């Protein structure tokens, strides 16, 4: 690819890195290389591609792009966010120990406890917003700390720089799930993390039309290992879905700006609403880690959780929304609204939810980029049902 030193800013990188015109045709959009194999000129002579599980030009382009956006040295894309987390865990050996934030995407502890624990891996869950708890949880065989910040759905913030300083003294690699903020608002690698994972399904793709995941690394062994895992276990992202993400990231900067503007306005509206008991949003001064959020993020994003008081209240209001769509997932241009206790966090069980402070009355919104007045009016109308 042609190097261009004037491609410095985030939006320019999103639009141009890996997205260079196709050298053979001039096509401005990256072609979708829908092929399973590549013809070879003679034995041992090919153009760098042999079989599409191992590598694909469309996938290469996306991987270059995402590595640049996170400031990493490599990126490898997988069929979903969970496939990316699974790939990450193949770096571990039986007996190894992982510390995980106690309030993460529900699928992560399900994978750890119900699948990977059977292979001799050990997991501890701690409140990573308290660095002292992280320190106490470290063991001789601790290899990874897996941090989600802000967390899902309570929007708790962990101090990436402080955790990285602590863990690097003990040779523990720091992994940050950056799905909620996207690289536009948070750059974990610049703060000291070793790897970043994303569900590209969310803000990176941004249009609720494809699943995907990525692991971004900083060391040569990350690049080697994840390329090898793509080849060995095969849960790669298809060329079409790579293309969807390449298309989605071109507008990441403008989408995130609008998500953030709308997010702040909706959080303020909910905080002032008489039917809402509490709002969890890092942009509010009442958020316990508002100062840390301002320090490590450049925006507050679009994810908001609020307390309606009871399951009955949540159910009533959710039945009335029209602009907001009731559904799991997040990060799309359309506003999605969900009920964590019965949807994304049902697998935690009542006890597990109670332990992290997740109540039956909580509702989570992924604020989209519609006209904010319409979202507000829709929520106001739905809240009247309480």
List residues binding ligand PLP (CB under 6 A).
80-82, 105, 107, 148, 152, 177, 179-180, 199, 201-202, 211, 213
Report residue 77: phi and psi, to 5°.
-100, 145
Map residue 13 onto helix, strand or coil: helix
Residue closer to ligand PLP, measured from CB, 79 or 253: 79
Q: How far is the CB of 42 from ligand PLP (least distance, A)?
A: 41
- Residue recorded with tokens 């096509």: 27
Rounded to whole angstroms, the Cα distance separating 353 from 104 reads 11
Report residue 191: phi and psi, to 5°.
-90, -5
Shortest-Cβ-distance residue relative to ligand PLP: 81
- Residue 54 has a CB neighbour count (10 Å cut-off) of 16
Percentages helix, strand, coil for the chain, rounded to the nearest 5? 40, 15, 45
Catalytic residue flag (residue 125): no
Rg (C-alpha) for the chain, rounded Å, is 21
Helix, strand counts (H, E) of the chain? 14, 12
Q: How far is the CB of 170 from ligand PLP (least distance, A)?
A: 25
Q: Which long-range contacts (CB under 8 A, 24 or more apart) does 60-64 make?
A: 60/18, 61/18, 61/19, 61/30, 61/242, 61/246, 62/18, 62/237, 62/242, 62/243, 62/245, 62/246, 63/18, 63/214, 64/1, 64/17, 64/18
Catalytic residue flag (residue 177): yes
Residue closer to ligand PLP, measured from CB, 74 or 344: 344
Residue closer to ligand PLP, measured from CB, 99 or 386: 99
Q: How far is the CB of 205 from ligand PLP (least distance, A)?
A: 9
Catalytic residue flag (residue 105): yes
Residue closer to ligand PLP, measured from CB, 150 or 239: 150
Catalytic residue flag (residue 130): no
| Catalytic choice (59, 202, 353, 364) | 202
Residue closer to ligand PLP, measured from CB, 112 or 138: 112
Question: Which structure tokens are listed for 219?
Answer: 């060391």
- Residue recorded with tokens 């309606």: 308
Residue closer to ligand PLP, measured from CB, 74 or 103: 103
Active site residues: 53, 105, 177, 202
């Amino acid at each position: 690819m042609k190097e261009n030193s004037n491609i410095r800013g985030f939006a320019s990188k999103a639009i141009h890195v890996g997205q260079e015109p196709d050298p053979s045709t001039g096509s401005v959009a990256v072609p979708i290389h829908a092929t399973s194999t590549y013809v070879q000129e003679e034995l041992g002579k090919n153009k760098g591609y042999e079989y599409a599980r191992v590598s694909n030009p469309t996938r290469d382009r996306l991987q270059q792009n995402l590595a640049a956006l996170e400031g990493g040295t490599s990126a490898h894309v997988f069929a979903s966010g969970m496939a990316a987390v699974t790939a990450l865990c193949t770096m571990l050996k039986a007996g190894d120990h992982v510390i995980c934030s106690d309030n993460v995407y529900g699928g992560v502890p399900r994978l750890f406890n119900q699948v990977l624990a059977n292979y001799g891996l050990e997991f501890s869950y701690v409140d990573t917003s308290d660095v002292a708890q992280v320190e106490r949880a470290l063991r001789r065989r601790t290899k990874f700390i897996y941090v989600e910040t802000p967390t899902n759905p309570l929007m708790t913030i962990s101090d990436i720089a402080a955790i990285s300083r602590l863990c690097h003294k003990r040779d523990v690699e720091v992994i940050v799930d950056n799905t909620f903020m996207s690289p536009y608002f948070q750059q974990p690698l610049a703060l000291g993390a070793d790897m970043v994972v994303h569900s590209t399904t969310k803000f990176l793709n941004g249009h609720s039309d494809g699943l995907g995941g990525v692991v971004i690394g900083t060391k040569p062994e990350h690049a080697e290992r994840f390329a090898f895992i793509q080849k060995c276990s095969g849960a790669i992202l298809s060329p079409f879905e790579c293309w969807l993400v390449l298309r989605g990231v071109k507008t990441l900067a403008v989408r995130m700006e609008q998500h953030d503007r709308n997010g702040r306005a909706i959080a303020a509206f909910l905080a002032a609403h008489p039917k809402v008991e509490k709002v969890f949003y890092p942009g509010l001064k009442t958020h316990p880690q508002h100062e840390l959020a301002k320090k490590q993020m450049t925006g507050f994003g679009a994810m908001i959780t609020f307390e309606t008081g009871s399951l009955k209240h949540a159910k009533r209001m959710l039945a009335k929304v029209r602009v907001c769509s009731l559904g799991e997932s997040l990060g799309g241009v359309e506003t999605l609204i969900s009920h964590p206790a019965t949807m994304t966090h049902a697998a935690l069980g009542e006890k597990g939810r109670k332990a992290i402070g997740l109540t039956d009355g909580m509702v989570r919104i992924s604020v989209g980029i519609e006209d904010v007045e319409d979202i507000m009016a829709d929520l106001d109308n739905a809240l009247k049902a309480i």
